[in-house]
Amino acid sequence: MTTHRSLTRFAWVSIAAALVTIALKFGAYVVTHSVGLLSDALESLVNLAAAGMALAMLTLAAQPPDEDHAYGHGKAEYFASSFEGALILLAAASIAWTAVRRLLSPRDVEDALLGVGIAVVASLVNFGVARTLLRAGRRYHSIALEADAHHLLTDVWTSAAVILGLGAVELTGWHWLDPVIALAVAVNIVRIGVSLMRRSALGLLDTALPEEERRAITGILDAYAAEGVEYHALRTRQSGVRRFISVHVLVPGAWTVQHGHELLERIEAEIRAAIPASTVDTHLEPLEDPVSFDDTSLERPRGGGSRHSTA
């Protein structure tokens, strides 16, 4: 199974891409004096900081469970994505401030075509890296890589808007278009930043797994109904690349302990096969005991039942 440690190689790729695009975009700004290109370059600085944070948090998440962190360190990824969201909002404020100043004190855009060419090259670099990170993030369920990928894709669309703005300035001579487009870029960046911070908060709040994955789990459990098996108190959450799933399984009281144990082993194996990188915790109870049906909330009013768990 791919670990957080092996995912750090993608963060290094993101860092390299950020350094390349920063050099290209600031070079384009120096040539053109376009505030749109400056806003684009500033966002690339955010990309570099975010990639560095992703690397640090993926490295921390790779640490094995210890006495104080029995469930591992996977939630460190959410700090990376929330930090990136905060940096995005900071960059948006900086872009907006620069654009307003340029609106109040207009300045001609120089060598627009050369600036456009440089921006296109930088965008292609970002697009290629973003696609790589997005595939890796989705494949290995890494929110840190997905956040970094979405941010890079936002950078691509930002660059596209800036390029269109420079083209419009070149065609119309309306130099106010450049800072106006920069302001539009800032608004879009705010939207992305808020979205990332919201997703990070949901992860820290132990939000349930996506509906598609929950349906896969219930499908496995429902398949045992023909054997007289029921279930309740299904709970799921995600911590970085890890998934945690717990469920109470109710079986006929006449079953032997061995029979119940074998059933739970099959159920857990099937769930782990359907939901990669998952830890499954099952709780076995007799169908005939009314107390079993009281055991559906986080705080159980009465004791009973036996616990069976596996990682």
Mean pLDDT confidence for 299-310 = 48
Residues 141 and 195 in one domain: yes
Give residue 243's pLDDT.
85
**Res 297: pLDDT:** 65
Q: Does the structure show a pLDDT above 60 at 306? A: no
Do 150 and 282 belong to one domain? no
Mean of pLDDT values over 11-15 = 86
Report CA torsion sign: 50, 52, 53, 59: positive
Task: Report the CATH number that the domain containing residue 104 is assigned in CATH.
Answer: 1.20.1510.10
272 and 186 in one domain? Answer: no
Residue 56 falls in which region: left (phi positive, over 0), alpha (psi -120 to 50) or beta: alpha
Cα(195)–Cα(272) distance, integer angstroms: 30
Question: Rounded distance, CA 311 to CA 242, Å?
Answer: 11
- Calpha distance 10→134 (Å, rounded): 10
Among the residue ranges 90-94, 147-151, 291-295, the one predicted with the least confidence is 291-295
* 80 shares its domain with 200: yes
Neighbours of 9 (CB within 10 A): 11
Domain boundary among 204, 231, 246: 204
pTM greater than 0.85 (yes/no) = no
Cβ within 8 Å of residue 268, ≥6 positions away = 280, 282, 310
Residues 200, 218 within the same domain = no
Co-location of 105 and 245 in the same domain: no
Model confidence pLDDT, tens digit, residues 67-113: 777 777 777 777 777 777 787 787 778 777 777 776 777 666 555 56
Residue 25: CB atoms within 10 Å: 29
Q: What is the pLDDT of residue 284?
A: 92
- Tell me, yes or no, whether 240 and 151 share the same domain: no
Same domain (yes/no): 190, 301? no
- 127 shares a domain with 46: yes
Count: domains in the chain? 2
CA dihedral for 182, 188, 194, 195, sign (positive or negative): negative
Three-state SS annotation for the chain: CCCHHHHHHHHHHHHHHHHHHHHHHHHHHHHHCCHHHHHHHHHHHHHHHHHHHHHHHHHHHCCCCECCECCCCCCHHHHHHHHHHHHHHHHHHHHHHHHHHHHHCCCCCCCHHHHHHHHHHHHHHHHHHHHHHHHHHHHHCCHHHHHHHHHHHHHHHHHHHHHHHHHHHHHHCCCCHHHHHHHHHHHHHHHHHHHHHHHHHHHHCCCCCCHHHHHHHHHHHHCCHHHCCEEEEEEEEEECCEEEEEEEEEECCCCCHHHHHHHHHHHHHHHHHHCCCEEEEEEEEECCCHHHHHCCCCCCCCCCCEEEEEC
Structural domain for 95, as ranges: 4-204
Please tell me the distance from the alpha carbon of residue 125 to that of residue 136, in angstroms, as a whole number: 17
CA-wise closest residue to 202 among 247, 143, 139: 143
- Is the domain of 157 the same as that of 217? no
Task: Answer yes or no: do 194 and 222 share one domain.
Answer: no
Report whether pLDDT(1) > 60: no
- Domain end, chosen from 152, 181, 204, is at 204
Lookup: tokens for 134: 């997005």
Q: Do 192 and 246 fall within a single domain?
A: no
Lowest mean pLDDT among 24-28, 170-174, 287-291: 170-174
pLDDT digits (tens, 9 = 90+) for 248-289: 999 998 999 999 999 999 999 999 999 988 889 999 999 887
Looking at residue 307, its pLDDT comes to 44
Q: Residue 302 belongs to a domain with what CATH number? A: 3.30.70.1350
